[in-house]
Amino acid sequence: MECQENGHDARLAQMSGAHSFHHRDCLAAAIVLVTLIPGCARAMCLPATDAERLAAADAVFEGLVVRGPDSPARLKVLRYIKGKGPKELSVETGSTRNRDGTTTSTSVGIRPLPGETWLIYGLGTRKGAVITSSCAGSRRVSRPDFRAR
């Protein structure tokens, strides 16, 4: 789909039977696409190797999600790769459940769901919760295997 300055695109008009396509229509189409395809809104992170992420992190651990995805998620620590600490930690996910039931998320947030295993690169703490992001290197290691139950 192309939106042109003069408000008319012959190819689109031919396909849709429309005679004009205005900027307002372009904006509406863009809003619909962004709403229907949330995967398009991804974070832009600076390139870094795992070694660089490890060096930048205060703590790195692998954990099983007990509660999530909203902040603070709760993870049972399976092992510490860098640092040491308690056997269970709260983690800021970048996703907050609002009073009206809606969710607000950051583009660099993580979405840890109960039963998943995550590798968390911690960049300090806020209000007792580990601060992390997808740009810090945090990522899902495995999903729960429901077939085993």
Q: What is the dihedral of CA 30, 34, 35, 38, to 10 degrees?
A: 170
Range of the domain at 76: 50-148
Statement to judge: residues 55 and 118 lie in one domain: yes
Domains in the chain, number: 2
The pLDDT assigned to 10 comes to 41
pTM higher than 0.85: no
Those residues whose C-beta lies under 8 Å from the C-beta of residue 74, and which sit 6 or more positions away, are 65, 66, 67, 68, 88, 89, 90, 91
Tell me whether residue 141 is in a domain.
Answer: yes
Considering the domain architecture, whether residues 33 and 57 belong to the same structural domain is answered as no
99 and 79 within one domain: yes
* Distance, CA of 58 to CA of 56 (rounded, Å): 7
Q: Are residues 67 and 25 in the same domain?
A: no
Residues 127, 60 share a domain: yes
- The Cα 71–Cα 111 span in angstroms is 10
Do both 33 and 68 map to the same domain? no
- 131 belongs to a structural domain: yes
Nearest CA-CA partner of 68 in 99, 93, 38, 39: 93
pLDDT tens, position by position, for the chain (149 residues)? 443 434 444 433 443 444 444 444 444 444 433 334 444 455 689 999 999 999 999 999 999 999 999 999 999 999 999 999 999 999 999 998 999 999 899 999 999 999 999 999 999 999 999 999 999 999 999 988 766 55
3-state secondary structure at position 135: coil
Using CA atoms, how far residue 116 sits from 18, 59, 64, in Å, is 49, 19, 6
Residue 69: inside a domain: yes
Residue 89, CB-side half-sphere exposure with 13 Å CA sphere: 29
pLDDT of residue 44: 86
Please provide residue 2's backbone torsions phi and psi, each rounded to the nearest 5 degrees.
Answer: -120, 140
Tokens of 132: 């992390």
